[in-house]
Amino acid sequence: MLEKVLKGSKFYYGWLLALLVLIGIGVLAYINQLVNGLQLTGMSQDVNWGLYIAQFTFFVGVAASGVMVAIPLYLHDYKEYGPLIIFGEFMAVAAVLVALLNVIVDLGYPARIFNVVLYPTPHSILFWDMVVLSSYLLVNIIIGWTSIAAERKGTKPAHWVHVLAIIAIPLAISIHTVTAFIYCGNVGRPFWASAIVACRFLASAFAAGPALLLLISFIMGKFTDYKLSDKAVDTVAKTVAYAIIANVFFFMLEIFTAFYGNSPHHVEPLAYILFGVHGHNQLVPFMWAAAVLIAIGIVILLVKKWRQTRGLLIIALLCVFLGCWMDKGINFVLAGFVPNSFGEIIDYVPHPNEIMVIVGTFAIGAFVLTLLFKVALAVREGIAQPEAVQKSAAARELAEELKSAEMEEAVEAAKSERAAREAEEAARKAAEEEAAKAAEEAAKAAEEAAKAAEEAVEEGAATAENAAENAASAAENAGEAAEKAPAPEAEAAPETTAEEAAE
């Protein structure tokens, strides 16, 4: 199945190349950090975790959100999610990868990372995070890969895969809960030491993750045959709506508890992100931007008519995703260090090098995501082709070519009546040479192709696509007729390929 990643459009290769460039930049930046130490980050003795750990936290959430597709499908047999689940699982794989990479780049002494395994320490939450994250990664790779392999063979996945998928549900909840425990166990950091953290993490994850999944689905739909049913899209959108509202609610609970109770330790970090404290207000723009974005997202998602308008839905999903990212991928971690042990406020100014490293980790995630999605889509496409098309390799390739070939070429070819006549003649010649039945079929096919071409000339460019498709199906017939049909050249015009196929 892995070979599917090798074959794609120019855009596919261009996208992968662009990601590879970003990965290269990220790797160079990381080498720079390895040589010079973590001074090449915005971190300090007072703000000792920064954007790396924030990205880790955010992407653990994205990974966990796969359950929002898995629960309806596996526990409630909601069949609309059938085509979506594999992408949810593969997105979880890529997201866990980004999360883990951000932990690794965050380490001061990464060469010793296996000390976490060599000296297992159950009283450390980081140890448990390693356990659940690596389990979740493994489980999702296994489920995703076996499911798509079964799909390719036209069978159902083995029973144990289903069992594993159900095990993955509490595991997904656990990865984000354990990540929240990293923060809320710190009694000295009042902004973090709150029982609401795990709930808030899960709520914002269940909003941002499915939002990202839908956005990626729309992008895939643009470039491939992949289509989600409107019902599935709307259900995911509703999930996003519920989750983001829950997240806002949990945040409001925190606000009330802090400001009504008015304990200075509790108030100060919140005041820092909401209004700024003593002139330190660098996180305030992110807080309010997140608030506005999430508000826009909620309004669009709540109104059924707006939610079901594709353009508005995309805006809403982008708003929710970005809002959650600013909330969890920037503010939550940084505000936890305010104030420090001595009541001081130390600002965090990101270093360009650390931003390059983070972009590199994102690029690695996107690269892996692209490859995994490519495999899944290619397997699906292979199954979707009709049997007759599959039988004749030449005809199938022709059909694919026509689908993806530039429209101009098709139009030009269709305009050429001479080519059509030639094809007709060639088909007749072939008919003479081949067995009588096969020859007749081929001739018919060629005629169809010619007709299609003529139609295209009459109706102009708008219907050219149709004509090209007709020509393609004609060519398929021709291909079947001639048993030893040679593979048509990639950039051939429909009529000439039909001629060749007939021969």
Partner 1 sequence: MTAQQHSERSLTRRNFVKAGAIACASGLFALNGCTLEEVKHSQLESDFKGIESKQYGLAINVSMLDALGGQEFIDTIIAACHSYHNVPQIDDPKHSIDWIWTQSYEEAFSDIASTYVDEKTASYAYPVMCNHCTDPQCVRVCPTQTTFKRPDGIVMMDYHRCIGCRFCMSACPYGARNLNFMDPRPYVDKATMNPGYPTRSKGVVEKCTLCYELIDQGSVPVCVQAAYGCITFGDLTDENSEIRQVLAQAFSIRRRVELGTGPNVYYIFDDSALYTNAFTGGEGTLFEEDLLEGGE
Query: What are the residues binding partner 1 (CB under 8 A)?
Result: 36-39, 43-46, 48-49, 103, 106-110, 112-113, 115-116, 118-119, 121, 123-127, 130, 182, 185-189, 336-337, 340-344, 346
Tell me how far, at minimum, the Cβ of 187 lies from partner 1, in Å: 5
Cβ–Cβ under 8 Å, residues 254 and 196 = yes
Tell me how far, at minimum, the Cβ of 235 lies from partner 1, in Å: 39
What are residue 277's DSSP bridge partners?
A: 280
Question: Nearer Cβ to partner 1, position 262 or 341?
Answer: 341
Interhelix angle 51-64/125-153, rounded to 10 degrees, is 40
**DSSP string covering 56-92, please?**
HHHHHHHHHTTHHHHIIIIIH--GGGHHHHHHHHHHH
Can you give the length of the chain in residues?
Answer: 503
Q: How far is CA 142 from CA 9, 59, 62, 89, 98, in A?
A: 28, 20, 19, 10, 18
Tell me how far, at minimum, the Cβ of 101 lies from partner 1, in Å: 15
Question: Nearer Cβ to partner 1, position 181 or 286?
Answer: 181
The one-letter amino acid code at 282 reads: Q
Place of tokens 């001639």: 482
- Written as six digits, the tokens of 320 are 């929710």
DSSP letter assigned to residue 337: T
Question: Nearer Cβ to partner 1, position 2 or 187?
Answer: 187
Tell me how far, at minimum, the Cβ of 120 lies from partner 1, in Å: 9
Tell me how far, at minimum, the Cβ of 35 lies from partner 1, in Å: 9
What are residue 280's DSSP bridge partners?
A: 277
Tell me how far, at minimum, the Cβ of 257 lies from partner 1, in Å: 18
Burial class (CB in 10 A: 0-12, 13-18, 19+), 144: buried
Characterize 150-171 residue by residue with b for buried, 16 or more Cβ atoms within 10 angstroms of its Cβ, and e for exposed: ebbeeeebeeebeebbeebeeb
Question: Nearer Cβ to partner 1, position 124 or 224?
Answer: 124
Q: How many CB atoms lie within 10 A of CB 298?
A: 21
Question: Nearer Cβ to partner 1, position 120 or 486?
Answer: 120
Question: Nearer Cβ to partner 1, position 120 or 170?
Answer: 120
Question: Nearer Cβ to partner 1, position 192 or 321?
Answer: 192
| E strand map for 241-386 | none
Tell me how far, at minimum, the Cβ of 125 lies from partner 1, in Å: 7
